[in-house]
Amino acid sequence: MTSPKVSVLMSVLNGEAYLAEAIDSVLAQTFEDFEFLIVDNASTDGTAAIIAAYDDKRIVHLRNPDTLNLSQSLNKGLAAARGDYIARLDADDIAMPERLEKQARFLAAHPDVALVASAWTDFGDGVPLPGTPGPVPPPDHDALVSALARSSILAHSSIMFRRQAALDIGGYDEAYAYCMDYLLYFRLAETHGLAALPEPLVAVRVHAGQITQRPEWEARRHREAAAAFRDILARGGLASAVRAGLRRYLILTCLRMTLLSLRTASPGKAICWFGRALAVGPLLFICVVLSASCRRVQHA
């Protein structure tokens, strides 16, 4: 059997509300040389029935007997994938019709690039398609990696990457349930090029049921992000300017956890997180705090 050029990789947990729309957007692609791996993460709703209703040989339905974290579930799909390129899509998002065609063409023309993302739009929660444009990520490697060191500028659903390059670094880091995409970007950036297309090729749905809208998610995300930044910095392999940006981002993340701890009446945790921010570098800490204070004054 001839292997497809692209493997679309999706993990879904109780996603019946929006799953069919996401699947339809993949099956409507102008690029046809793909397989569609859907990893059902032990859903208990109608997810399995929705997948089974599609009579399309490109769909490969994998089911986890027990619920895994997202990194583990994606790695299960990555291990089963046969395509040269992996295109990620969350089960509530929408791929624009030419998404696979344009990203696969870019990777074929740029063998030094291991991952290409794209701009995206936000929709849902009262905002119809095509949605509201999100930030446009920088197109070239150096500017993109520098931007990633300052903020989370890529949508996970927008990326396509070389399967072998991801396997060479061990796939997604299963120690992380929320920031696995961020680590993937920087691990790949140590030895490969990253790029982004300015055109929005995916629409990211915003809705009350998604994990990012849950109150407890913010603290978990910041805790994981702080650990991820420390892991990335400990590895080395990145330009000094990028490392400086990550250190600033780490300080800001620790300060956010300080404020969250104070809001939840946890002064001991607040002191701990404040100390972690200061330990990144006292002079850099002062610069970050002053910069943040100036921005607040300017926007007051």
Instruction: Give per-residue pLDDT as tens, 74-97.
Output: 999 999 999 999 999 999 999 999
* pLDDT at residue 296 in the model: 62
- Per-residue CA distances from 161 to 88, 106, 187 (Å): 9, 11, 12
**Global pTM exceeds 0.75:** yes
Q: What is the pLDDT of residues 150-162, one digit of tens each?
A: 888 999 999 999 9
Q: Return the higher-pLDDT residue of 125 and 80.
A: 80
Q: What is the pLDDT of residues 206-253, one digit of tens each?
A: 876 655 545 567 788 889 889 988 998 998 888 888 888 889 888 988
Peptide bond connecting 130 to the previous residue in cis, omega within 30 degrees of 0: yes
> What is the rounded CA–CA span in Å between residue 115 and residue 125?
30
The distance in angstroms from the start CA to the end CA of the chain is: 62
- Per-residue CA distances from 62 to 9, 11, 18 (Å): 11, 9, 18
Q: Determine the 3-state secondary structure of 174 from DSSP.
A: coil
Mean pLDDT of 250-261: 88
Task: Please check the confidence at residue 23 and state whether its pLDDT lies above 80.
Answer: yes
* pLDDT at residue 158 in the model: 98
What is the secondary structure of 11-26 as a DSSP string? EESS-TTTHHHHHHHH
> What is the rounded CA–CA span in Å between residue 78 and residue 91?
16
Which residue, chain included where needed, has tokens 């729309």?
21
> What is the rounded CA–CA span in Å between residue 87 and residue 85?
7
CATH of domain 6-212: 3.90.550.10
Q: Which of 124, 110, 99 is nearest to 213 (CA)?
A: 124
Q: Which of 42, 57, 49, 41 is nearest to 20 (CA)?
A: 49
List phi, psi (to 5°) of 159.
Answer: -95, 150
CA dihedral over 79, 81, 84, 88, signed as positive or negative = negative
Domains of the chain by residue range: 6-212, 214-298
List phi, psi (to 5°) of 22.
Answer: -65, -45
- Per-residue CA distances from 268 to 99, 230, 260, 272, 275 (Å): 48, 22, 12, 6, 11
Please report which helix (H) or strand (E) contains residue 279, including its range: helix 267-279
| C-alpha count within 13 angstroms, C-beta hemisphere, residue 86 | 29
> What is the rounded CA–CA span in Å between residue 42 and residue 14?
8
Task: Give the count of beta carbons closer than 10 Å to the beta carbon of residue 59.
Answer: 17
Residue 39, class by beta-carbon neighbours within 10 Å (0-12 exposed, 13-18 middle, 19+ buried)? buried
Q: Where would I find the H helices in 172-239?
A: 180-189, 215-235
* Percent of the chain at pLDDT exceeding 70: 94
